[in-house]
Amino acid sequence: MNRMLHTLTLAECAQKLDAREISSRELTQACLDRIQKVDPVVKAFLRIDPADALAQADATDSLRAQGATSARQPLLGIPVGMKDVIAVKGHTLTCGSRILGSFVSPYDATVTEKLRSAGAVIFGRLNMDEFAMGSSTENSAFFTTRNPWDPSRIPGGSSGGSAAAVAADEAPAALGSDTGGSIRQPAALCGCVGLKPTYGLVSRFGLVAFASSLDQIGPFTKDVRDSARMLSVLSGHDRRDSTSLPRPVPDYEKALGGGLKGMKLGLAREFMVGGLDPEVKAAVDAAVRQLTALGAEIVEVSLPHSEYAVAVYYIIATAEASANLARFDGIRYGARVDGADPIQLYERTRGLGFGAEVKRRIILGTYVLSSGYYDAYYLRAQKVRTLIRQDFLNAFEKVDAIVSPTTPTAAFKAGEKTSDPLQMYLSDVFTISCNLAGIPGISIPCGFTRSPHLPIGLQLLGKPFGEETLLRVAHAYEQSTNWRRERPPL
Ligand code: GLN
Quick check: 274 pLDDT over 80? no
Is 417 annotated in the active site?
A: no
Average pLDDT for residues 187-207, to the nearest whole number? 98
Confidence category of residue 258, pLDDT binned at 50, 70, 90: confident
For residue range 214-235, list pLDDT tens digits in order: 999 999 999 999 999 999 999 9
**Measured from the CA of 159, which atom of ligand 1 is nearest?**
9
For residue range 208-219, list pLDDT tens digits in order: 999 999 999 999
Ligand 1 centroid distance, CA of 136 (Å): 10
Residue 423: predicted pLDDT: 86
Ligand 1 centroid distance, CA of 35 (Å): 26
In the predicted model, what is the mean pLDDT of the chain?
96
Quick check: 2 pLDDT over 80? no
Confidence category of residue 3, pLDDT binned at 50, 70, 90: low
Sheet holding 441-448, edge to edge: 45-47, 121-126, 79-83, 173-178, 216-221, 193-196, 441-448, 455-462, 401-405, 264-268, 297-301
For residue range 10-33, list pLDDT tens digits in order: 999 999 999 999 999 999 999 999
Q: Compute the C-alpha angle 173/179/182, nearest 5°.
A: 45
Determine contact, residues 411/189, Cβ cutoff 8 Å: yes
Ligand 1 centroid distance, CA of 19 (Å): 41
Confidence category of residue 1, pLDDT binned at 50, 70, 90: very low
The verdict on the CB of residue 133 being under 6 Å from ligand 1 is yes
What does each C-alpha distance from 277 to 7, 270, 310, 407 come to in angstroms?
A: 31, 15, 19, 9
Average pLDDT for residues 300-311, to the nearest whole number? 95
Average pLDDT for residues 252-268, to the nearest whole number? 94
Ligand 1 centroid distance, CA of 60 (Å): 36
Residue type, 67: G
The verdict on the CB of residue 179 being under 6 Å from ligand 1 is yes
The verdict on the CB of residue 210 being under 6 Å from ligand 1 is yes
Rg (CA), the chain: 21
The verdict on the CB of residue 182 being under 6 Å from ligand 1 is yes
Neighbours of 364 (CB within 10 A): 18
Measure the CA–CA gap between 268 and 437, rounded to whole angstroms: 15
For residue range 462-489, list pLDDT tens digits in order: 999 999 999 999 999 999 999 999 999 9
Catalytic residue from among 43, 83, 114, 463: 83
Reported in sequence order, the residue ranges of 48-172 that DSSP labels E, i.e. its strands, are 79-83, 121-126
Share of the chain above pLDDT 70, in %: 99
Residues contacting 79, CB < 8 A, separation 6+: 27, 28, 31, 53, 57, 120, 121, 123, 171, 172
Measure the CA–CA gap between 207 and 203, rounded to whole angstroms: 9
The verdict on the CB of residue 401 being under 6 Å from ligand 1 is no
Residue 269: predicted pLDDT: 87
Determine contact, residues 399/409, Cβ cutoff 8 Å: no
Average pLDDT for residues 54-78, to the nearest whole number? 98
| Secondary structure element (H or E) that encloses residue 469, with its range | helix 467-479
DSSP letter (8 states) at residue 208: P
Catalytic residue from among 136, 182, 227, 244: 182
**Measured from the CA of 177, which atom of ligand 1 is nearest?**
9
Which CATH architecture group holds 2-263?
Answer: Alpha-Beta Complex (3.90)
Of the candidates 364, 269, 270, 266, the residue with the CA atom closest to the CA atom of residue 313: 364
Q: In the chain, what are the domain boundaries?
A: 2-263
Is 135 annotated in the active site?
A: no
The verdict on the CB of residue 39 being under 6 Å from ligand 1 is no
For residue range 347-399, list pLDDT tens digits in order: 999 999 999 999 999 999 999 999 999 999 999 999 999 999 999 999 999 99
Residues contacting 205, CB < 8 A, separation 6+: 109, 110, 238, 240, 241, 244
Is 140 annotated in the active site?
A: no
Quick check: 149 pLDDT over 60? yes
Confidence category of residue 272, pLDDT binned at 50, 70, 90: confident
